[in-house]
Amino acid sequence: MNKFRTKLLIAVSIIAVLVVALEILFAQIFKTYELNQMYGQIWWIISISIWVSFIITIYLGIRIKSQYTKPIEKVTKVAIELAKGNYRARASIDRRDEAEMLATSINMLAENLQELVREQEMQQDRLTALIENIGAGLILIDSRGTINLVNKGFIDIFQVEPSDYLNKIYYQVIDYEEISYLVAEVFRTEQKVKKQLLLPLAIERRYFDVYGVPIIGTDNVWKGVLLVFHDITELKKLEQMRKDFVANVSHELKTPVTSIKGFTETLLDGAMNNKETLEAFLSIILKESDRLQSLIQDLLELSKIEQQGFQLNIQKLDLHDLLVEVIPLLDGKAMAKDIKLEFISLQEPVFIQGDFDRLKQVFINLIGNAITYTPEKGEVTVRLVDQSDHVMIHVKDSGVGIEKEEIPRIFERFYRVDRARSRNSGGTGLGLAIVKHLVEAHHGHINVKSSPGQGSEFIIELKKKWN
C-alpha cells in the first residue's frame, strides 16, 4: 500500500509541475504576442479550471483510497494472519458495499477454519488420550519399517525411552527376536498375526498377547503395521492358581480317601475278626474321615467368604469378652502339650464393630495354629491392646517360627511350611487363607513377625468403627 501512496504522490507532483509549466507557457505566449485583455481573462479562466480540476483529482484520489484501498488493506492483513495460523483474526468494516461483502466472506472463512481446527484438535486430543491410556502397549511401524509411534503403555511395560525407538528401523531397536519375527510375518503375509509371548523384562518374565495388524489404506496402499501388547501375566497366574488349586484339592482329598479305602478293605479281608486290629483300624478311619470333613468344611467356608456378595453380620461387640470366650475352647489342646496359654488385656470392655462369630473363627484359627506349631512346654500369649480408634491383638508363641521368605506364602491356600507336621495336627492348609479374608472383610490388617526357632507373632489391627 506504501507503493500506491508513492505513486499517488509522484502523479500529484507531475500534475502540479505540468500545471505550473502550462501557466508559465501561457503567460509567455500572452507576453510575447501582447494579446489583449480578453485573452488575459481566458487565460485566468483556464488557469483556475486547471487548478480546480487538479484539486478535484486529488480529492477523488483520497476518496478512492479511503473507500477501496483501506478496506482491502484491512482484509489483506486478516488474510495474512489466517495464513499464519491465527484463526481468531477478523476484519471489521463499517461500510455497506463490496468491501463489506469481502470482509464478511473472509470472516466466514476464518470462522470455518477456526471451527475446523477446533474439531481437529479435539479429535487429536481424543486420539492421543485413547492411545496413551488404552492399557496396552502400542507401536506403529510405517511401510518402510520405521517406528512412528510408541505409546505410554509400551514405554511403561518395556521401560524404554521413546527417543530410542522413534524414527528407527524396528529390527534394529526391538531387542526381542520373537517380536521382530512377528512384524516380519505381518509384512510378508499382509494378515493379522496373534501370538502369546513370554518375554524377559528386567528381573522377571511376563506373558503377553501380541497382535500384529497390517494397516492398509483405502486405496489398498500399505501404511505399515500396528503392534499391540496385552500383559496377561496376572491372568496366567490366576489360571495357574486355579490349576494348582484343583490339583491341591484333589491331592488333599485323595490322601484320606485312599487311607479309608485301604483300611476298610483290609478289615473286610478278615482283619475285622481281630478285635484289637478292628478298633485300631476303625479309629484311623474315624481320624481320616474327620480330616476329610474339616477339609470339606474349610473349602466350603473359603468359597463362601470369597463369594462376591459375602456379608458380615456387623454388630457392636466387646472384643475382650470374645477372647475370654475363645481361650477355654483351646485350653484342652494347650494342656495336652503342657503349653501355657495366657490372655492379657489391660482394658475392659473393648468395643468394636464386627461379626462376632467370624472374629471368633479368626482367633480360634490363630491360637490353634500357635499351639500346633509350638513344642511341648512352650508358651502362647494373647494380648489385647486398645488404641483409641483401633485395637491390636497379638497372638505370640514360643514355637518353631517361620523363615522370612515363607511368611508371605503362608496365607496362600494349601501352603504349608512343614507338610507332615500340618497334616499330622489335622491342619488343612486353608486356615490362614480364611483368617486373611475375614480380617480384610473387617477392613483390618494382619501382620506376622517370626524367625525360625524364635517363635511367631501374628498381629491383627482392627478399626473400632469402619462402616
Q: Which grid cell sits at 42?
A: 481566458
Judged by CB under 6 A, the chain residues 47 through 76 that form the site for ligand ADP are none
CB of 367 to ligand ADP, least distance (A): 9
Binding letters toward ligand ADP, positions 316-345, x by CB under 6 A = ------------------------------
CB of 380 to ligand ADP, least distance (A): 9
Q: Are 351 and 464 in contact (CB under 8 A)?
A: yes
Residues in CB range of 154: below 8 A, 6 or more apart? 137, 138, 139, 160, 229
Q: Are 404 and 451 in contact (CB under 8 A)?
A: yes
Judged by CB under 6 A, the chain residues 360 through 399 that form the site for ligand ADP are 369-370, 373, 397, 399
CB of 434 to ligand ADP, least distance (A): 8
Nearest to 401 by CA among 372, 373, 425: 373
- 429 makes contact with ligand ADP (CB under 6 A): yes
Which stretch in 127-135, 151-159, 270-278, 431-439 sits in contact with ligand ADP by CB under 6 A? 431-439
CB of 192 to ligand ADP, least distance (A): 46
The alpha carbon of residue 38 and the mean position of all alpha carbons in its chain are separated, in whole angstroms, by 104
Q: Are 401 and 454 in contact (CB under 8 A)?
A: yes
CB of 172 to ligand ADP, least distance (A): 51
CB of 299 to ligand ADP, least distance (A): 12
How many residues sit close enough to ligand ADP to count as binding (CB under 6 A)?
A: 21
Q: How far apart are CA 61 and CA 48, in angstroms?
A: 20
Per-position DSSP letters for 66-125, written without gaps between them:
IIIIHHHHHHHHHHHHHHHT-TT--------SHHHHHHHHHHHHHHHHHHHHHHHHHHHH
**The binder of ligand ADP chosen from 226, 400, 446, 460 (CB under 6 A):** 400
Per-position DSSP letters for 158-179, written without gaps between them:
HT--HHHHTTSBHHHH---HHH
**The binder of ligand ADP chosen from 160, 253, 299, 417 (CB under 6 A):** 417
CB of 430 to ligand ADP, least distance (A): 6
- 151 makes contact with ligand ADP (CB under 6 A): no
- 439 makes contact with ligand ADP (CB under 6 A): no
Q: How far apart are CA 343 and CA 87, in angstroms?
A: 79
**The binder of ligand ADP chosen from 339, 367, 428, 438 (CB under 6 A):** 428
**The binder of ligand ADP chosen from 106, 432, 438, 460 (CB under 6 A):** 432
Which stretch in 203-211, 320-328, 345-353, 424-432 sits in contact with ligand ADP by CB under 6 A? 424-432
Binding letters toward ligand ADP, positions 442-461, x by CB under 6 A = --------------x-----
Q: Which is nearer to ligand ADP, 226 or 437 (CB)?
A: 437
Per-position DSSP letters for 283-334, written without gaps between them:
HHHHHHHHHHHHHHHHHHHHHHHHSTT-----EEEEHHHHHHHHHHHHHHHH
- 402 makes contact with ligand ADP (CB under 6 A): yes
Q: Which is nearer to ligand ADP, 212 or 378 (CB)?
A: 378
Q: How far apart are CA 348 and CA 319, in angstroms?
A: 9
- 314 makes contact with ligand ADP (CB under 6 A): no
CB of 424 to ligand ADP, least distance (A): 10
CB of 340 to ligand ADP, least distance (A): 15
Q: How far apart are CA 112 and CA 104, in angstroms?
A: 12
CB atoms within 10 A of CB 455: 22
* Residue nearest ligand ADP by beta-carbon distance: 427
Which stretch in 53-61, 95-103, 258-266, 416-424 sits in contact with ligand ADP by CB under 6 A? 416-424
The alpha carbon of residue 402 and the mean position of all alpha carbons in its chain are separated, in whole angstroms, by 36
Residues in CB range of 391: below 8 A, 6 or more apart? 319, 350, 352, 384, 385, 461, 462, 464
CB of 460 to ligand ADP, least distance (A): 13
Which stretch in 42-50, 316-324, 344-352, 420-428 sits in contact with ligand ADP by CB under 6 A? 420-428
CB of 298 to ligand ADP, least distance (A): 8
CB of 373 to ligand ADP, least distance (A): 3
- 228 makes contact with ligand ADP (CB under 6 A): no
Per-position DSSP letters for 228-268, written without gaps between them:
EEEE-HHHHHHHHHHHHHHHHHHHHHHHHHHHHHHHHHHHH
Nearest to 195 by CA among 170, 171, 213, 173: 213
Alpha carbon dihedral 164, 168, 172, 175, in 10-degree steps, equals 40
Bridge partners of 196, per DSSP, are 209
The residue ranges that bind ligand ADP (CB under 6 A) are 369-370, 373, 397, 399-400, 402, 410, 415-418, 422, 427-433, 456
